[in-house]
Structure 1
Amino acid sequence: MAQAAPRLSSAPSAVWYTRCPAPTPLSIAAQLGWVNQAFSRHGIDVTSIRDSADPKIRQSHFDHHLDWSFRQGGNIPPIWARSGGRHTRIVGLTRTDEFQAVITLPHLGIRQGADLKGRKLGLPRRPGDIIDFQRATSLKGIVSALEIHGLTAADAELVDLVAQTSSPGSSADASAFTPRRKLPYGEEIAALHRGEIDAFFVKGAEGVTVTSLIGAHIVVETGFHPDPKIRINNGTPRPLTVDATFADERPDLVADLIATIQRVADWAEKHPSDAVRFIANEIGVSEDAVRTANGPEVHRHLSLTLDQDEIDAIAHFKDFLLEWKFIPENFNVQDWVDPRPLALAHLRQPL
């Protein structure tokens, strides 16, 4: 049965957006001013959720509660929001593989993954967060590292490390949303040096930086593993999500957004050094850390797709989050995907 043509409402006066400090095409498009330009053609203002002074607004970075909003970044918060009943749609995915590793100190004698058996592995725990995505990220990294060496989480001792909350409105919230955030993994580093744990998980350019700073030994690296079920984590892939109101009432605007973001892939091919500089600026790390964490070809991995293998990987990760009780309810990931705006964007001339 043919679907009815989408109903177009009057355009909103403003839209909201947010992105994680990570290598995403949305981040670069925003820094280049393209996102503002795209919506200004329609007389629509673009307002950053991360820059809002209102903690209730900033909370939408995690729970996606604002209508007329879009987000690209880690996939755990949008999975959690969708599991909790938030009506959102995945309209694109960016797969930019990144450094993921379990690290230790050289003197502890943990040389390879098999040596993790019986060891104490640190897991951050932020009981004040609305979704403890950092704990989920670390746990998935640890489970994957153990799995490729024939081990399970039951073969090691998982040690809780209570960390400062990063939920909107908390005292730690400002550092989580400022351009120059402090490096993560502070609790893990302290526990490692106190002898309370033997190893912990790190990821991304910040993980590369921390590994170098403490002179750590990399026990297992999983970020570039050929099996997507091993390498998938909060940052791989990173979905572009929009709320259902936006997707249903103005799919044309969502298509304009996607077409704008897709320009980044061609731009980055022609300006690889600038692309790395923008990514480093977004995260607050050195350009060398970005190249080490994401590979020298990072500028070639900034496109939006709806690749079925990546959708399947998100479904696998959703199952992991459900198994470990990070999300409240099961749902069908395939039903979450809305391919219409991406298909419409491909029919358009570059903006």
Structure 2
Amino acid sequence: MTREGNISQIWYTRCPVPTPVGLSVQLGLLEDSFSKQGITLNSIIDSKDRNIRSSHFNHHLDYSFRHGGNVPPIRARSEGSRTRLVGITWTDEFQAIITLPDSGIATTKDLAGRRFGIARRPPGIVDFMAATALKGLVSALSLEGLTPDDVEIVDIPLPDSVLDDREGPQLYGLRNRQAYGPEMAALLRGEVDAIYVKGTPGISIANLFATRTVVEFGFHPDPKIRVNSGSPRLLTVDERLAEERPDLVATLIETLKRTSDWAQTHADEVRRFVAREVGASEEVVAAANGPDLHRHLGIGLEAELVDAVGHYKDFLHEWGFLAGSFDIETWIDRRPWALIETRAVA
């Protein structure tokens, strides 16, 4: 495919969430930036090859980049994956603990002694949805001085991995399965009393079943309450790409910055593009991400963003989702940003 430094194609992937990568792909900006250098972009998550798709979670492909939820790349790094963190975005989204209207749970304090459901997937790929639900629970309880010891955590076992969620007739021709189905089923069957939901799928399923919101904290003023798998989201590249072609990483970041700048003045178009990206209506996107979504698609490596990644990494390690801890600063590669500054001066 390549001689050292002479790259003809790059693999990329992004989660079906609001990201400048997803927006840039839809606008054609990424393809344009790389095609000018004779490079073809290939989508990892859309591949028919299961082994290639798995790189969305373990980042094993050479000459690749990923932008999306932070649990898989943090887990991959903790297991020794040779990647570099080159950018961070923060787009707030709906996060809530929900229950059924007749559960008797009206406030967070009412969760004490009740059953909180967390879906658990088979071993293999890091169970990022379980980590997300657990962090949501911890954040919500902390607002009332409670801890997970004050509730009964009930596992909701799932038979399939996240890779299986992109295969089979049960998708009915769609790209992704609706999130939170098993959790909602357990809630309706009376097996649990409350569950965590987030983002566009979370607000959609809460609306569909007319659930009661116990607490909503996706836009809480304290960022450590909002920190979760999607807040912040990470842009990572594999080590070979970072070492052999830092100029291409700089091109990637420059393109995403141009995309973010475009978004600032195109609120309606951003909402429409994100709706297409996440598979939801524009109304749902507006409800889940707020009216200022277009202003929150920037990318950087500011100290507060790095601190947020470190905070969630420590949470994942504390709760057993990581093979081991590591220093976030040693993961970060700021060389592409320095190269961008040099280009701007030249």
Q: Does 1:203 align with 2:198?
A: yes
SS at match of 2:249: helix
Deviates more, 1:118-127 or 1:156-165: 156-165
Deviates more, 1:57-66 or 1:340-349: 340-349
Alpha-carbon offset, residue 58 of structure 1: 0.5
1:320-331 to structure 2, matched below 5 A, reads 320-331=315-326
Alpha-carbon offset, residue 152 of structure 1: 0.5
One of 151, 160, 163 as aligned partner of 2:158: 163
Distance 2:35 2:261 in 1: 22
One of 51, 60, 64 as aligned partner of 1:65: 60
Q: Does 1:130 align with 2:120?
A: no
The answer for the alignment partner of 1:305 in structure 2 is: 300
Task: Output one character per residue of 1:112-149: Cα deviation in whole Å (capped at 9) or x when no partner.
Answer: 11111001000000014411101111111011111111
Q: Does 1:96 align with 2:91?
A: yes
Q: Does 1:74 align with 2:59?
A: no
Task: Output one character per residue of 1:93-117: Cα deviation in whole Å (capped at 9) or x when no partner.
Answer: 1110111110011111211111110
Q: Does 1:274 align with 2:269?
A: yes
Distance 1:224 1:129 in 2: 32
Distance 2:331 2:123 in 1: 28
The answer for the alignment partner of 1:4 in structure 2 is: none
Q: Does 1:174 align with 2:167?
A: yes
Relative to structure 1, the CA distance from residue 167 to residue 190 in structure 2 (aligned partners, 3 Å threshold; closer, same or farther) is closer
8 Å CA contact retained: 2:58, 2:72: yes
Distance 1:18 1:60 in 2: 9
One of 25, 50, 53 as aligned partner of 2:20: 25
Distance 1:273 1:51 in 2: 27
Q: Does 1:295 align with 2:290?
A: yes
Amino acid at match of 1:280: A
RMSD of Structure 2 on Structure 1 (CA): 1.6
Q: Does 1:217 align with 2:215?
A: no
Alpha-carbon offset, residue 345 of structure 1: 2.5
8 Å CA contact retained: 1:128, 1:165: no
8 Å CA contact retained: 2:180, 2:201: no
Distance 1:164 1:27 in 2: 30
8 Å CA contact retained: 1:104, 1:216: yes
Query: Gaps (5+ residues) in structure 1?
Result: 1-7
Distance 1:164 1:238 in 2: 27
Distance 1:277 1:179 in 2: 18
SS at match of 1:86: coil
The answer for the alignment partner of 1:3 in structure 2 is: none
The answer for the alignment partner of 1:54 in structure 2 is: 49
Alpha-carbon offset, residue 180 of structure 1: 4.0
SS at match of 1:150: coil
Distance 2:30 2:231 in 1: 23
8 Å CA contact retained: 1:121, 1:199: yes
SS at match of 2:272: helix
Question: Which portions of structure 1, spanning 4 or more consecutive aligned residues, are displaced by more than 3 angstroms?
Answer: 346-349
One of 327, 338, 341 as aligned partner of 1:332: 327
Q: Report how many aligned residue pairs link the two structures.
A: 339
8 Å CA contact retained: 1:179, 1:283: no
SS at match of 1:36: helix
One of 239, 254, 274 as aligned partner of 1:259: 254
One of 323, 338, 341 as aligned partner of 1:343: 338
One of 40, 43, 54 as aligned partner of 1:45: 40
Relative to structure 1, the CA distance from residue 9 to residue 312 in structure 2 (aligned partners, 3 Å threshold; closer, same or farther) is same
Distance 1:346 1:97 in 2: 28
Alpha-carbon offset, residue 346 of structure 1: 4.4
One of 225, 244, 253 as aligned partner of 1:249: 244
Task: Output one character per residue of 1:272-322: Cα deviation in whole Å (capped at 9) or x when no partner.
Answer: 111111111111011111111111000111111112112111111111111
Deviates more, 1:101-110 or 1:336-345: 336-345
The answer for the alignment partner of 2:134 in structure 1 is: 139
Deviates more, 1:279-288 or 1:266-275: 266-275
* Fraction of identical pairs, as percent: 52
SS at match of 1:37: helix
Deviates more, 1:257-266 or 1:55-64: 257-266
Relative to structure 1, the CA distance from residue 265 to residue 346 in structure 2 (aligned partners, 3 Å threshold; closer, same or farther) is farther
Alpha-carbon offset, residue 211 of structure 1: 0.9
Distance 1:269 1:220 in 2: 30
1:145-156 to structure 2, matched below 5 A, reads 145-156=140-151
Distance 1:11 1:179 in 2: 37
